[in-house]
Structure 1
Amino acid sequence: MKVLVMGATGYVGGRLVPRLVEGGHEVRCLSRRPAKVRDVPWADSVEVLAGDALQRESLDPAMEGVDVVFYLVHSIGSGAHFEESDRRAARNTADAAGAAGVQRIIYLGGLVPTGEAASAHLASRAEVGQIFLDGTVPAVVLQAGIIIGSGSASFEMLRYLTERLPVMVTPKWVRSLVQPIAVRDVLTYLVGSVDLPPGTNRRFDISGPDIVSYREMMQRYAAVAGLAPRVIVPVPVLSPWLSSQWVNVVTPVPKAIAQPLIGSLRNNSVAHEHDIEALIPFALCPLDEAVRLALESIRRGRVVTRWSGAQWPGAPSDPMPTDPSWSGGTVYRDERSAPIDADVDVADVWRAVEGIGGDRGWYSFPLAWAIRGLMDRLAGGVGLRRGRRDPNRLEIGDAVDFWRVEAIERPRRLRLRAEMKLPGDAWLEFTIADDGGRPTLEQRAFFIPRGLPGHLYWWSISPFHNVVFGSMIRNIAAGAEASASPGAGADRAGR
């Protein structure tokens, strides 16, 4: 069967695609930036087309000849008006699927509470599901609560709060009930939905076997992780808004994502029916086992996808710092180079470059980077706590602390785009040249200011560039040379 996956570069989509390929399906992926799919292990097994759910005309080529559409797109984190973006993207998709003669749309949404007002986030997910159910193409709308898996936003919030706060003063939402589901079970339901009876057009609740409060879930996480029981004191005065500020500081999930998620915690998230269990029967993963599997993946550095890798609909696709269209504007640059010992090959230098960020740090003044990350979090940015999906290998679209991989040409070039709060746009690029058999590491920082604040920002930090950028390139070069020595490790530099 020919399937189209919309949202293939997201947390669930990036895990679903290889499952579909293994199941013998012909898979097409739609992405605003097809280059993001270039480095994933399954890239050669799928067809990738450029398109945007918010651009109706871009969907027609993607839908051509397709039997089933997986819709895994949502706009949480994209701004205050994410509901409108979700609505428009869903309508565009339903219209295009109907025009192309698609047989089924499969959508993954959230568990919708009954008898209580849904949060803005859950209400939007429910509205998207209804748009598909009201369309001309039959839709299977799967409604899930918290997804437990390495790299999911909900799981990382749970993990960081539980591990970092042995004593918590929490809002009353810790008493809300939730029925979490393992990510592998979500994938099984998604794949199985392809073979549901023709014409099926309805919602299905999907959930794991355990119903717990958020408080109990944190305690059970602590037990699986080998932590002492947490002291959790619920109080009625902490609002969801205050909770999101707290989550923004303690966890790697930024306020733009934490706020709508926290707003949903006041709702009970429990399945109201289990009809799909008879249609797609298998043994569901218990909560404790799901947590154990997630932690094992994290500890082994095998996080396949992360919430931070998603690209929100409507996010800008801005030009790159080498575009000729910028020749007439102001582009500030800091450019440096460092020759490497002749007995060090390009692969050694590349390992040091590709391993930057996350637990290894930024090869210069860890305290200064930590302060910059904290300032960014307090300003509503992503900060440094996003870390990396994989400690050694990067792919286009990966988040690296408050940067994102924009270009990678292994083993010669890596370009990172800043996602911190800035009065302009910034990039950091590393290039490895090999002239005459001796590698040279070239490091370039670009900044395009927005208005007077942007110019003032650049000139205010310029005095620190020799310290930060100068030590960075020296320590990367030293790390590469150390890695070429017997028994040495590339992550020594800057530690």
Structure 2
Amino acid sequence: MRVLVTGATGYLGGRLAPRLLDAGHDVRVFVRRPERLAEVPWAAKVDVVAGDLLDAEAVAEAVDGVDAVYYLAHAMGTRGDFEAAELAAARNVATAAAAAGVSRIVYLGGLHPATGRLSRHLRSRAQVGEVLLASGVPTIVLQAGVVIGSGSTSFEMIRHLTEVLPYMPAPRWVRSWIQPIAVRDVLHYLLRALDAPEGVNRAFDIGGPDVLRYGQLMNGYAVEAGLRQRPIAALPVLTPWLAGQWVNLVTPIPRRLAVPIIESLQFDCVVHDHDIDAVIPPPGEGLVGYRRAVRLALERERTGEVETSWRNSEVVDAPSDPLPSDPDWAGHTVYVDRRERRTTASTDAVFTVIEGVGGERGWYSFPLLWAIRGWIDKVTGGVGLGRGRLHPDTLRVGDAVDFWRVEAVERGRSLRLRAEMRLPGRAWLELSVEPGDGSGPRAAADSASAAAAVYRQRAVYFPKGLAGRAYWWAIAPFHGVIFAGMANRITAEAEALERQRGAEADPAEKEITNR
């Protein structure tokens, strides 16, 4: 079957696409930024179509010739009216799918109460489902609640709230009933939806075997993580908005994503029926319980086998334009901080250090200033430094690195990061290395001026209005500490790495090093 996957750079879409390939389907993906798939292992096996779901013509082109469409995109967490954006995108897909003669749409929505008031997020999810069901194309809407898996937004929120707080003053939603579902079970239902009987056109609730209060989810995590269970006090004074600010501060989840999630947790979200079993039977080994789902997620994180993460989804903002080339700067106000260092380390050693920036390693200069900037960003509703990075050693285009996002990687040569912190303008940080006039430490010993590599660092800032200019000059005094220190430390770390590699390769040198 020829299948189109929207949201393929997102958490679930990025996991579903390779599984569809493994099942023998021809897969086309529809993404805004194809470069984000450049180093994904399965990218060469799929047909990549670039475009935006809000562009009706692009959607029609993507849908043409496919048998089924997976609708896994969402606009929650972006600026502006995400409800209107989601409805417009859903209408485009519904219209294009009907015109192209698509035989099946599969949509992952949200588990929600059958009646009564809904949060903005749950209301939007339900409305998108209604649009697709009314398209004239047989549609299966799978309504899932809290998805538990390594890198999922829900799991990350539960994990950080539990690990950071020894005692939890919490809003009343900790008493809400939740029916979590393991990510592997969500993928089971998504994959098997293609085998459903023709003509099925309805919504189905899906959930795991456990129905728990949200507070029980947190303490269930504590047990599996080897932590003592946390006392929880439900406080009526914490409104969803205030609770969202609290989640924003103590977890990596940014405010614009945390608030709509918290609003949704006010409601009991449990499966109302098990009609799905007649259309898509549960996995042969049974659905995964909550505690086991947590155990599996923790094991994935310990072994570094996290396939996708909410961090690398576009949940903060629509991407800014790529960094213009230098000639295009003419006529624009632009501020640049450049640093260059010659080093006896090889280009490979320097790039290894460059690629390891951020996360637990930090930014190689004045950690306190970086921490302060991260907290300022969090308090003002940004992502802060808590996102970390998906893998400790390697980066791909689209990866999040604290409050930056990888915009370009030229393996062994350069890394370009785009700022996602809140600031009055646009900013990039480029780290690169080029061969010098030496061949390594031994060559440098013969000539003090010889360099195996030249490290270059460039911070580029495009201010927005007077506030943008004032911001640059307000932080300019710190550049000498932050950027100069960063350049010095990166080259020093690279030289230390080069010496370590040399000692490991040369037993005699290793003997001297050990002494």
Q: Normalising by the residue count of structure 2, what TM-score does the alignment of the two structures yield?
A: 0.92
* C-alpha distance in structure 2 between counterparts of 1:314 and 1:288, whole Å: 33
Tell me how far apart the structure 2 counterparts of residues 152 and 31 of structure 1 sit (CA, whole Å).
Answer: 20
Question: Within 2, Cα distance between the matches of 1:183 and 1:111?
Answer: 15
Q: Residue 195 of structure 2: SS of its match in structure 1?
A: coil
Of stretches 184-193 and 476-485 in structure 1, the one that deviates more from structure 2 is 476-485
- 1:308-335, Cα deviation, whole Å (9 max, x unpaired): 2112598254142326443210111011
| Alpha-carbon displacement from aligned partner over 1:192-218 (angstroms, at most 9, x marks no partner) | 111111121111111110000001111
Partner of 1:115: 115
Which residue number in structure 1 is paired with residue 253 of structure 2?
Answer: 253
Mean Cα deviation higher: 457-466 or 86-95: 457-466
| Cα shift at 1:390 | 1.1
Residue 459 (structure 1) shift = 1.2
The correspondence for 1:321, drawn from 302, 321, 324, is 324
Give the Å deviation of 1:60.
2.0
In the other structure, the counterpart of 2:481 is 467
- Cα distance in 1 between the residues matched to 2:223 and 2:478: 45
The answer to whether the aligner puts 1:484 opposite 2:498 as a matched pair is yes
Aligned to 1:189: 189
Q: Could you tell me how far apart the structure 2 residues matched to 1:323 and 1:42 are?
A: 34
User: 2:248, 2:378 within 8 Å by CA — same for their partners in 1?
Assistant: yes
CA contact (8 A) 1:431 1:443 kept: yes
- Higher mean C-alpha displacement, 432-441 vs 67-76: 432-441
Residue 456 (structure 2) pairs with residue 442 (structure 1)? yes
Q: Which residue of 1 aligns with 2:38?
A: 38
Aligned pairs for 1:72-471 within 5 A:
72-278=72-278, 279-282=280-283, 283-311=286-314, 315-322=318-325, 324-341=327-344, 344-436=345-437, 437=439, 438-471=452-485
Is the Cα contact below 8 Å between 1:110 and 1:126 reproduced in 2?
Answer: yes
Which secondary structure does the structure 2 equivalent of 1:386 belong to?
coil
Letter of the aligned partner of 1:20 in structure 2?
Answer: L
Alpha-carbon distance in structure 2 between the residues aligned to 1:483 and 1:21: 40
1:91-148 per-position Cα deviation (integer Å, ceiling 9, x unaligned)? 0111111111111111111002123311110010000000000002111101000000
Structure 1 residue 416 displacement after superposition: 0.3
- 4+ runs of 1 displaced by more than 6 Å? none
Matched, 1:54 2:57: no
The answer as to whether partners of 1:33 and 1:50 remain within 8 angstroms in 2 is yes
Q: Provide, for residues 249-270 of structure 1, a one-character-per-residue CA deviation record: whole Å limited to 9, x for no partner.
A: 0000010000000000001110
Do the aligned partners of residues 30 and 488 (structure 1) sit closer, same or farther apart at CA in structure 2, a change above 3 Å counting? Answer: farther
- For structure 2, list consecutive stretches of 5 or more residues without a partner in the other structure: 440-451, 504-515
Measure the CA separation in 2 of the matches of 1:256 and 1:243. Answer: 12
Aligned to 2:445: none
State whether residues 180 and 210 of structure 2, in contact with CA within 8 Å, keep that contact through their aligned partners in structure 1: yes
**d(CA) in 1 for partners of 2:317 and 2:300?**
32
CA RMSD of the aligned region, Å? 1.6
Mapped partners of 1:25, 1:174: distance in 2: 42
Q: Is the 8 A contact 2:322 2:407 kept in 1?
A: no
Question: Equivalents in 2 of 1:483, 1:329: separation in Å?
Answer: 40
Q: Secondary structure at the match of 1:102?
A: coil
Question: Larger Cα Rg: Structure 1 or Structure 2?
Answer: 2
Report which stretch shifted further, 344-353 or 451-460.
344-353
Are the equivalent residues in 1 in contact too, given 2:333–2:463 (CA < 8 A)? yes
Q: Distance in 2 between matches of 1:218 and 1:464?
A: 40
Q: Structure 1 residues 314 and 473 mapped into 2: Cα distance closer, same or farther (>3 Å)?
A: closer
Q: Distance in 1 between matches of 2:330 and 2:22?
A: 47
- Matched-pair contact (CA < 8 Å) for 1:52–1:313: no
Alpha carbons 2:254, 2:316 under 8 Å: kept: no
- What is the CA distance between 1:345 and its match in structure 2? 2.7
**CA displacement, residues 393-425 of structure 1 (integer Å, 9 cap, x when unaligned):** 111111100000111111211100001111110
Structure 1 length normalisation: TM-score? Answer: 0.96
Q: By how many angstroms is 1:51 displaced?
A: 0.8
Deviation of the 1:299 alpha carbon: 1.9
* Alpha-carbon distance in structure 2 between the residues aligned to 1:6 and 1:38: 17
